[in-house]
A and B are shown apart, each in its own frame.
Chain A
Amino acid sequence: MNNTDIVRSSLKKRYAKEKRFKAYGILSIGLSLFFLLFLLFDITHKATPAFTQTYINLDIDFSHKNLRLEEKSSYSEKELFNASYRKLTSKALYQLFPEVKDRREKKTLRKLVSSGAQYDLRDLVIANPNYIGTKQSIWILADDDVDTFAKDLIDRNLPEVQRRVKDNQIAWIDHLQAQGKIQKELNTKFLTQGDSREPEQAGIWGALKGSLYVMLLTLILSFPIGVAAAVYLEEFAPKNNWFVDLIEVNINNLAAVPSIVFGILGLAVYINLFGVPRSAPLVGGLVLSLMTLPTIIIATRAALKSVPPSIREAALGVGASKMQVITHHVLPLAMPGILTGSIIGMAQALGESAPLLMIGMVAFVADIPQGFLDPSTVLPVQIFIWADSPERAFIALTSAAIVVLLIFLFLMNLLAIILRKKFETRW
């Protein structure tokens, strides 16, 4: 047997091996795609109920007597704010179901509408003072139990003790439904409100805005500092110097430090030493930029390294100074890589909740933050808080919040891709 024969006889085996090798790769991609699609499908499926919200149509009597307002031509906003709105919906419900007399039964009847309905009515009257003294047909926010029932998520055939919605409530809901007085609308509160302990009033806007503030601060702080540090280390720092080596090793190690450590550091330095207020986006952004810095530095250095030396030499050759070489040629060419690294770091920071626990951002914050010093929370924390809430309707809200987080992430990546395309140069 000569060499050609040996090769030829093993050829089949080698081809098969190569095919298998390729198949493993395809299989891995297929598997990850399957899991990704499964996850996306599962989350959107679970989130669907949260995108609509049940409303009940009631004839609300805004008489002066009901509002406990004296009759006059105009009212100040404060007077309207302090008027009585608590009983408006209950009175309308009693009128609709006059047969309900028992005190306990009346209480379950009142519970058809959300406890937040009175505040919605207050805002409505403040916006439309001409409603005072009139009767209006208004769509009132339903309670989360009614909402869950209307979405067929509660089985009416179960024995009564096992249901949150009782037999008499089901009868009332059926009655209202037959009259067309129950309707599902787009859940606008979800995108415009802050957190609430009532699922039907809870919204993601507070957490989304908190995340925006924190991410903005993280970007403003970590991007320039990270790029500047990387440029110095890569272009100016003396080579083979023990101190520079020490810094490099430390940066690489910092990138692998568990994120909660940064939270403890933030608590000790920013809150206890500098007196930055707890739970504010300011301290959140400071902590997360610490966490993102090493990632950005490492990515930037790799991007700077990948710029061919010929570019630098050519620029130096035509008389550019070292700084001109870097700012005019090396940095723009390295920009796509720098951006990719920064986005990876930012995406990590966006999903982080562990370090925020230490600095008080894992909290119930109902008001929407108006600045960097207001208490706020962030998207992953909001998801965590909702996932831990006993009310059934929060399950759908949790998934809906995950969808919002994914969209946020997707937009961030999209921005990076667009910027990268803009800066990309081929040689």
Chain B
Amino acid sequence: MLSKKLTTVSVAALVATAMTMPTQAREHIEIVGSSTVFPFATVVAETFGKKTGLPTPKIESTGSGGGMKLFCKGNGIETPDITNASRRIKDKEVEKCHANGVTDITEVLVGFDGIAIANSRIGANFNAMTRKSLYLGLAAKVPASATGQTWNEEQMIDNPFTHWNQVDSNLPNVAIKVLGPPPTSGTRDALQELAVEGGCKKFPHMKAMKKTNNKQYKSLCRTIREDGPYVEMGENDNLIISKLVNDKNTLGVFGYSFLDQNADKVKGADVDGSAITFDNIADGSYPVSRPLYFYVKNSHRGKVKGMNEFISEFVDEDTFGEEGYLVDKGLIPTPEAKRAKFASDAKNATNLKL
């Protein structure tokens, strides 16, 4: 029975490997987290590997929330050393980290990412787009006053709009159709929190609701309509771009680096009168942009080979500075003073303060 012998041997070998698993140190750095930071962190990892000859860090794209979960699991060597996030760490996550013994965390702001609202180059012009229009066009419920109803203006009704010019007469007369990421994506969070909620706040009674009933405010201001005009496309931004080319008046939502790479096919709309350009995102005048962070587990410094060197590489001026190679990949750098602060925090392992 050759096969049975083989089975015994392989099972035995397996158990043996599982028992002798190294638990004290690791040769390579393990990074998890946001899919938005992924294209930048991978470039740094690769450069670090080639420059130093040390093993290239392994980077998993788990999403910001998923990364935090893995990161905060504990101090064991099997947990990740660094997590990327396309938003700041939440109080709840810090509490969870602390509860599991991960108390020494360094926060580094890498830079910014702009969210493009774009359509085909040959399509209609959406430069009159505002956050308010995005809210009225995409939210599940809108205030009755926005539809021209004069009684009971503050009542929230199901979104009745089908064309952009009904939302704002400056916008073209084309059907509302937006291709965007699914709820698991950080880009979707940014669309909801920065664009849609940003527009929602323009209604005084909604702004007032934030103070009185935050939960209801959030659900009303952030919920995207599900009656057809907003189409979830999965996390593949290249797919969104190829769909936009075929359907010239459809809008797509994706990160600035994809717009930068595909400027011959699609054009980004101005939002609140500010064009989506490198400079406008950097100085904050383009409203739909978000910070990109990474968080370091300081207890792993020294235990994992090359961790300090990798972090130094990431916060080097040649990397995340204004002329750095991440900028070529579409990252919008942080202002200089802030950069210096985060670079020294990163090198000195300064503990996070919220």
**Residues of A with Cβ closer than 8 Å to B?**
81, 107, 111, 115-116, 119, 154-155, 158, 161-164, 196-198, 220-221, 223-225, 227-228, 271, 274-279, 282, 286, 323, 327, 360, 362-367, 372-373, 375, 387-392, 395
Contact = CB atoms under 8 A, between A and B. Distances in A.
Nearest to B8: A224
Given A81-B53, A197-B329, A390 B257 contact: yes
B150 interface: no
Given A275-B23, A392-B262, 9 more contacts: A111-B328, A163-B264, A363-B60, A365-B56, A373-B17, A375-B58, A387-B238, A389-B39, A390-B258
3 A-B pairs with least C-beta separation: A366-B56, A162-B264, A224-B3
Contacts of A387: 236, 238
A224 B60 contact: no
Nearest to B266: A162
Contacts, number: 114
Contacts of B61: 362-364
B264 A275 contact: no
Interface string B75-119: 000100000000000000000000000000000000000000000
Contact of A197 (B18, B42, B78, B121): B42
Interface in B307-325: 323, 325
Contacts of A372: 17
B354 interface: no
A196 B46 contact: yes
A279 B58 contact: yes
A255 to B, nearest CB: 20
Given A365-B58, A391-B261, A278 B3 contact: no
B18 A119 contact: no
Contacts of B205: none
Contacts of A375: 28, 30, 58
A197 B46 contact: yes
B60 A366 contact: no
A364 B45 contact: yes
Contacts of A221: 10, 14
Nearest to B239: A387
A363 B43 CA distance: 13
B49 interface: yes
Contact of A155 (B17, B264, B329): B264
Contacts of B78: 271, 275, 277-278
A173 to B, nearest CB: 17
B7 interface: yes
A277 to B, nearest CB: 7
A191 to B, nearest CB: 19
B235 interface: yes
A362 B3 contact: no
A274 B11 CA distance: 14
Given A225-B7, A277-B21, A279-B60, A158 B264 contact: yes
Nearest to B18: A274
Give the most central of B49, B78, B238: most A CB within 10 Å: B238
A276 B43 CA distance: 28
Given A162-B121, A197-B39, A367 B56 contact: yes
A367 B264 contact: no
A389 B261 CA distance: 10
Given A275-B18, A367-B55, A119 B39 contact: no
B59 interface: yes
Contacts of A197: 39, 42-43, 46, 329
Interface string B1-44: 10110110010001001100101000010100000001101110
Contacts of A367: 28, 49, 55-56
A366 B4 contact: no
Contacts of A286: 14
Contacts of A196: 46
Contacts of A364: 38, 41-42, 45, 58-61
Nearest to A107: B323
23 contacts: A81-B53, A161-B263, A164-B261, A164-B263, A196-B46, A197-B39, A198-B46, A220-B6, A221-B10, A221-B14, A224-B3, A227-B3, A275-B18, A275-B78, A276-B21, A365-B56, A388-B237, A390-B255, A390-B261, A390-B329, A391-B261, A392-B262, A395-B238
A388 B264 contact: no
A323 to B, nearest CB: 8
A81 to B, nearest CB: 6
Give the most central of A154, A276, A362, A388: most B CB within 10 Å: A388
Contacts of A388: 235-238
Contacts of B49: 366-367
A398 B181 CA distance: 21
A387 B238 CA distance: 7
B42 A276 contact: no
Nearest to A227: B3
A146 to B, nearest CB: 14
Nearest to A276: B18
Contacts of B58: 279, 363-365, 375
Nearest to B30: A278
B210 interface: no
B50 interface: yes
Given A115-B325, A363-B61, A388-B237, A228 B43 contact: no
B50 A116 contact: yes
B330 interface: yes
B38 to A, nearest CB: 7
Contacts of A115: 47, 325
Given A224-B10, A364-B42, A282 B261 contact: no
